[in-house]
Structure 1
Amino acid sequence: MDDDLRVQPWHGGDWTVPPADVAEDGPDLLVTAIEGSDAWRHTSYGFVHDDAHALLAPLPSPAAVEVTFDLGWDRQFDQAGLVLRAGADTWLKAGVEVSDGVPQVGAVVTLGRSDWSVAPVPEWAGRRVTVRASRSADAVTVRARVDDEPFRLVRLAPFPADAVVGAGPYCCAPTRAGLVVRFRHWATGPADATLH
């Protein structure tokens, strides 16, 4: 699954919403989120937020994008991972979000309205997480892993086949100031050959 990945330079994308601060630390990118930043549309909560900090570059179909970051936060709704974005009402975010005191791996798929699927991963706290989204035809397959463990399937979701998409790392901090995420790696490559 790691064959033929091309590293994306941090300067190779554009921010949807600039974060509070961005700094390169060797090969890593440190991103400080603005308090109240989030990405969500309507469902259950009734609000629309479209100010998460996403660093995006074009992603054709079929293709895959992969983002690695350190899971070093523990405040409610702190989150980081990757985004595929075609517009304000057509996007997918996947990664790790703290909910009810526990890191949760999951995804939000937004096609007009958002949904949310999560699974608790408390054993991932303080470790290095990689999230991968593979886009092909009318679907996106999301996988994630911690350190060098095998990838696990997180989500198979519909996504418009003809959408023009930007993809890359993201973070946001809906409930507090001071979230800093250390991104380690951003790469793109061929779509995954198999579903599982």
Structure 2
Amino acid sequence: MKRLVAITACIALSIGLKAQTTTAMKWYNEPKKWSADNNKIAVTVDPGTDYWQVTHYGFIRDNGPFYYQEQEGDFTATVKITGQYKELFHQAGLMIRTNDKNWIK
């Protein structure tokens, strides 16, 4: 089964991500403003985007920017993430995703 491995920016206003290569990577929910240069990806995350599943009050969100590549079998992922987090819940990180109901961030 293929899993989507991504470097994802989940609510951060502005982050920088290091990637070994960006040639096989693509966007799910591409943000309006981003750039890639010298194996570094800079993203300004659009307001109101996030990744959450069903909470006790019914909140579901699956619209954050997700820069990924498909990967089969075992893998090792190493990322360095820096950000300018301005609100309490701003965050960025690694996501492993099979579909909209099955993912880890």
Does the alignment reach a TM-score above 0.5?
yes
Among 80, 87, 104, the alignment partner of 2:99 is 87
Aligned residues of 2:53 and 2:60 also touching (Cα < 8 A): yes
Q: 1 or 2 for the larger relative contact order (CA 8 Å, sep ≥6)?
A: 2
Provide Cα deviations, 1:88-146, integer angstroms capped at 9, x if missing partner: 100011xxxxxxxxxxxxxxxxxxxxxxxxxxxxxxxxxxxxxxxxxxxxxxxxxxxxx
> What is residue 77 of structure 1 aligned with on the other side?
89
Cα drift, residue 74 of structure 1: 3.0
Which 5+ residue runs of structure 2 have no aligned equivalent? 1-18
Q: Is 2:47 the partner of 1:35?
A: yes
Which 5+ residue runs of structure 1 have no aligned equivalent? 1-6, 94-196
Q: Is 2:30 the partner of 1:18?
A: yes
Among 51, 62, 65, the alignment partner of 2:63 is 51
Cα drift, residue 35 of structure 1: 0.3
Provide Cα deviations, 1:16-38, integer angstroms capped at 9, x if missing partner: 10012111244421101110000
* Identity between Structure 1 and Structure 2 (%): 26
* In 2, Cα distance between equivalents of 1:45 and 1:66: 34
* In 2, Cα distance between equivalents of 1:52 and 1:67: 18
Q: 1:12 corresponds to which letter in structure 2?
A: A
Q: 1:61 corresponds to which letter in structure 2?
A: G
Larger Rg: 1
Q: TM-score, normalised by structure 2?
A: 0.72
Secondary structure of the equivalent of 2:77? strand
* In 2, Cα distance between equivalents of 1:90 and 1:40: 11
Within-5 A mapping of 1:95-114 = none
> What is residue 169 of structure 1 aligned with on the other side?
none
> What is residue 20 of structure 2 aligned with on the other side?
8
Q: 1:19 corresponds to which letter in structure 2?
A: P
* In 2, Cα distance between equivalents of 1:75 and 1:11: 32
The structure carrying a bigger strand percent of its residues is 1
> What is residue 74 of structure 2 aligned with on the other side?
62
Cα drift, residue 61 of structure 1: 2.5
Q: TM-score, normalised by structure 1?
A: 0.41
Q: Which runs of 4+ in 1 moved over 2 A?
A: 24-27
